[in-house]
């Protein structure tokens, strides 16, 4: 039983309902200014939302696609062609791709919509190495990646493509790239937002100039530097 003086609280009802409502709305709206840094600190310590909610195995990833179905990878018929303005055009099947000199890399993956996956372990081929094999001609200043997910396409400048941590990745976190992550091959350019990290790469063409890709035709920046493009941070000229 409660102490009798509990009943001697002021009899006038308090308007706590609107207080709870307004406090929640204000806290939520203000989180637009602090949500991401706070959440990345927390999730860095506990290992992501699935540590709290084991039923939700996202691994921090969201799967963004633009076509009605995801491409299916068939190892027996899959081919990668590298052509356009090159001295030595190439066509690789999956075994030939896996036989190329392999690099391992740990890098963060940033999506332009705000989510980030830290310390992803990639295995694949350095794009610069592959470009040395095919030999871009003097007119080639852009490189176009065609996805098997039509009509997704995007390009880098040749200079961007030669950055040391730009990979064509066929492994993620120790296993062959999963279908939803672009099996069997995706581009990884950690300095740029996810939409430049083309999934299901099936064709690479050296071209005179980098052309706007799928999302860029819808208004996204062609040079998608993390933290310095698409309305984030100071726009700077890096290429």
Partner 1 sequence: MSRPTAPGYVRRFSRSERVLHWVNAAGFFVLLASGLVLYLPSLATAVGRRPVVKDIHFWAGIGWVSALVLVALLGDRRGLLRTARELDRFDPEDLRWLRGRRPAPQGRFNAGQKVNAALTAAFVVLFFVSGLLLWLGERDTSFRFASTVVLHDGLLYASVVLLVGHLYLAVIHPATRHALRGMVTGTVREDWAREHHPRWSGSD
- Residue numbers of the site for partner 1 (CB under 8 A)? 2, 6-7, 9-11, 13-22, 24-25, 28-29, 31-36, 39, 49, 52-53, 56-59, 61-70, 112-115, 179-180, 218-219, 230-232
C-alpha to C-alpha distances, 62 to 51, 65, 183, nearest whole angstrom? 17, 10, 15
**113 Cβ partners below 8 Å, 6+ apart?**
62
Residue 46 or 99 with smaller CB distance to partner 1: 46
Closest approach of Cβ 25 to partner 1, in Å? 5
Residue 70 or 103 with smaller CB distance to partner 1: 70
Residue 63 or 99 with smaller CB distance to partner 1: 63
Closest approach of Cβ 183 to partner 1, in Å? 11
Closest approach of Cβ 122 to partner 1, in Å? 17
Closest approach of Cβ 29 to partner 1, in Å? 7
C-alpha to C-alpha distances, 231 to 217, 219, 236, nearest whole angstrom? 16, 11, 12
Residue 15 or 88 with smaller CB distance to partner 1: 15
Give dist(CA 167, CA 178) in Å, integer. Answer: 16
Give dist(CA 147, CA 62) in Å, integer. Answer: 18
**Dmax over Cα atoms in the chain, in whole Å?**
93
Q: From 145, 151, 148, select the one nearest 210 (Cα to Cα).
A: 145
């Amino acid at each position: 039983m409660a102490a009798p003086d509990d009943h001697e609280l002021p009899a006038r009802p308090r308007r706590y309902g609107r207080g709870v409502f307004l406090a929640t709305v204000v806290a939520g709206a203000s989180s637009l200014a602090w949500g991401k840094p706070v959440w990345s600190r927390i999730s860095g310590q506990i290992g992501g939302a699935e540590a709290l909610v084991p039923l939700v195995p996202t691994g921090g990833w969201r799967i963004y696609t633009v076509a009605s179905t995801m491409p299916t990878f068939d190892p027996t018929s899959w081919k990668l062609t590298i052509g356009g303005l090159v001295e030595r055009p190439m066509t690789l099947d999956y075994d030939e791709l896996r036989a190329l000199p392999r690099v391992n890399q740990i890098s963060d993956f940033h999506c332009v919509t705000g989510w980030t996956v830290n310390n992803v372990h990639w295995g694949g081929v350095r794009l610069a190495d592959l470009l040395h094999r095919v030999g871009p001609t003097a007119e080639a200043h852009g490189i176009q990646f065609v996805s098997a997910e039509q009509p997704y396409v995007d390009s880098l400048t040749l200079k961007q493509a030669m950055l040391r941590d730009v990979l064509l990745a066929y492994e993620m976190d120790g296993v062959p790239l999963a279908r939803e992550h672009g099996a069997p091959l995706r581009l990884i350019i950690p300095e740029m937002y996810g939409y430049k990290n083309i999934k299901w790469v099936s064709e690479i063409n050296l071209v005179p100039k980098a052309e706007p890709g799928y999302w860029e035709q819808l208004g996204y920046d062609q040079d998608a530097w993390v933290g310095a493009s698409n309305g984030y941070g100071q726009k700077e000229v890096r290429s």
